[in-house]
Structure 1
Amino acid sequence: MFTCRNQSCGADWKLSDVNIHNEGQGLLFRCPMCGARNYVTRRRTKDGETTYAQVTEFPPNGKR
Structure 2
Amino acid sequence: MFTCRNQSCGAEWALSDVDIHNEGQGLLFRCPMCGARNYVTRHKTEEGELTYDQVQELPPNGKR
Which aligned runs of 4 or more in structure 1 are off by greater than 6 angstroms? none
Which structure 1 segments of 5+ residues have no match?
Answer: none
Aligned residue pair count:
64
How far has the Cα of 1:63 moved from its partner? 1.3
**Cross-structure match for 1:8:** 8
Which structure 2 segments of 5+ residues have no match?
Answer: none
Amino acid paired to 2:11: A
Q: C-alpha root-mean-square deviation of aligned residues, in Å?
A: 0.4
Amino acid paired to 1:62: G
Instruction: Give the 5 Å matches for 1:4-43.
Output: 4-43=4-43
**Cross-structure match for 2:63:** 63
DSSP-derived class of the 1:39 partner: strand
TM-score, length basis structure 1: 0.98
DSSP-derived class of the 2:16 partner: helix
State the identity as a percent: 83
